[in-house]
Amino acid sequence: MTVLTIARLTVREAARRRLLLALLVLTTIVIAATGWGFSRISTLSEPSGPAGADQILQAKLSVLQVRLIAAQLLVVVMYMFSFVLALSAVFAAAPAVSGEVESGIALAVLARPLHRRDYLVGKWLGLAGLVAAYAALATGAELATVQAVIGYLPPEPAQLVLYLIAEGLVCLTLALALSTRFSGMVGGVIALVVFGIAWLGGVVGGLGAVFANEAITQIGTVSRIIMPTDLLWRGAVWSLEPAATRALAGSAGPAALATPFFAAAPPDPAWLLWAAAWVAGALALAIWSFHRREI
Amino acid sequence: MKLLLGLSRPTSGEAWVLGTPAGTREARRRVGYLPELFRYQHWLTAREVLALHCALVAMPRDGWPRAIGAALVTVGLDGREDGRVGTFSKGMQQRLGLAVALLGEPELVLLDEPTSALDPVGRHDVREIIRDLRARGVTVFLNSHLLTEVELVSDRVAIVNKGRVVTEGTLDGILGTDEVRVRVTGVDGPAALAPFGTVSRAGEWLAVRGVAPDRVPDLVAALVAAGGRVHAVEPRRGTLEERFLELLGEPSS
């Protein structure tokens, strides 16, 4: 019950300190802008001069072409969004514990008859709820906008949301664990650097797979172990790929396979299990770290 | 205080609070705490902070309004409960902290410098609260460097220097013998007062040490009988500050 009390308190803090308002306003603006952008796709190859015979033949883009372009653009938009989610999770979690300890707010709370782990898990739960709610609402709003504007919906919207939430939770848990020992600024920077390593590792690993280079592929594997965000992003990309794009997987060149905007296959279930274990392990580490800390 | 609450971990040794090992949840259940660094969630209202602590001590929900109301009245914050803590002055935040410490009817209240941000009226109010707690059988463990405050409310005092207890005991025991100061004219004061104790001059006053309080009327009567005109009588004992400085080997002013 104490865990829920702290979780509710964490959510209320985000609301009262206007984090939710800021996210809401900015996300709405971005989604509106992308909606406008998507509506312009079908105008991409409209003839601009006087109509000649061949220009009449070169009609507007076919529905399929529009959808393929929209699918790729949506991947790019969602990629940016996944970064926003990861950064927001880090910014929210990095000072969650250290800020309260430094300011003294934690003193009166931890003097109460609760386990330190209740305090930590409560914070995690509150922040995780915020990450999940934001990911679901923003993704839902974006997909609804694209659907409304050009009638395209990616094949697995629910799966997409779950992958994005998972990516957010990984970043959140790392930042919260760091928050038990480091100030918000330092913990946030460390979390972002590790996230960057995972991102880079994902690209390098993709190149290694393409050129069938064992050593380079290993780099990708190691970075996935260190922080599983990139592999979760690949899952999100897979959820966004319509059948036509997936069908191209076999014939796509090395450049396409190495970018973060394309996934040749869904993530191996074993890696998904690793991601779940990673989050649980990071949370356990956070609990242990906080247990010993002087307040 | 932090060791007693489990906020700091001991390097060695043991401690018990109300019969349970210090720092356990059971011990913390029966203790109220006002930290020296008193900060509360500034985005919450005072009422919400108190409600949070009601939840943390597992108080039954229907008892919250009464407990919160009583706490606010005790510390003089009634009427301000819907203000954001971020808008409170330091003194008001300290009062809120005191209210938080009193929630849940603790058996032991730890107050760390509880009047540091308060004006004389506030300090008076806190002393009244401490006296009221004592009357209700609650133990108050007060940490303060305002020795005048300590003198006014404490039954027992411990003086700590560099992590070691220098002296500990009742206030009367620590302050030593009583002293009476007299301003008298028209008589050989020291001679008349000699039977009552050791006499010394302190400016225009005569200080007699070792006089039991109930002998003061006899002392005055003796001076009058000897033909003296008694202008003022002041029972006085050494202050805690003087004793403190004496124990620490510092010269007193």
pLDDT tens digits for range A262-283: 887 889 999 999 999 999 999 9
Give the chain B residue whose CA is nearest to the CA of A9: B52
Q: Which residues of B touch A11 (CB under 8 A)?
A: none
Question: Quick check: B35 contacting A, CB < 8 Å?
Answer: yes
pLDDT at A150: 86
Closest residue in B to A13 (Cα–Cα): B43
**Portion 82-141 of B in contact with A at CB < 8 A:** 97, 100
* Per-residue pLDDT at A57: 47
Is B58 touching A (CB cutoff 8 A)?
A: yes
User: For residues A241 and B103, what is the distance between their CA atoms, to the nearest angstrom?
Assistant: 57
Mean pLDDT value across chain A? 89
> Which residues on neighbouring strands pair with residue B196, listed in sequence order?
none
Tens digits of residue pLDDT in A21-54: 999 999 999 999 999 998 888 777 655 555 555 5
Q: What is the pTM of this model?
A: 0.87
Listed in sequence order, the residues at least 6 apart from B206 whose beta carbon sits closer than 8 Å to its beta carbon are B181, B182, B183, B184, B189, B190, B193, B199, B200
CA distances B195 to B166, B198, B208, B230, Å, are: 34, 8, 10, 17
Nearest-by-Cβ selection for A9 from B6, B7, B52: B52
Is the Cβ pair A104, B28 closer than 8 Å?
Answer: no
- B31-34 and B108-112 strand pairing: parallel
HSE-CB for B92 with a 13 A CA cutoff: 16
Contact B33 A295 (CB under 8 A): no
Asked if the Cβ–Cβ distance from B58 to A108 is below 8 Å, we say no
Which residue in B2, B3, B7 has the most chain A C-beta atoms within 10 A of its own C-beta, making it the best mutation to test that interface? B7
ipTM over 0.85: yes
Please tell me the distance from the alpha carbon of residue B105 to that of residue B96, in angstroms, as a whole number: 16
Instruction: Provide the 3-class DSSP secondary structure of residue A73.
Output: helix
Tokens of B182: 């007299």
Q: What is the pLDDT of residue A165?
A: 97
Tens-level pLDDT at each residue, chain B (253 residues): 999 999 999 999 999 999 999 999 999 999 999 999 999 999 999 999 999 999 999 999 999 999 999 999 999 999 999 999 999 999 999 999 999 999 999 999 999 999 999 999 999 999 999 999 999 999 999 999 999 999 999 999 999 989 899 999 998 888 866 788 889 888 887 888 888 888 877 677 888 877 877 888 998 998 899 888 999 988 777 788 888 887 887 654 4
Give A115's contacts in chain B (Cβ within 8 Å): 25
A173-199 tens-digit pLDDT = 999 999 999 999 999 999 999 999 999
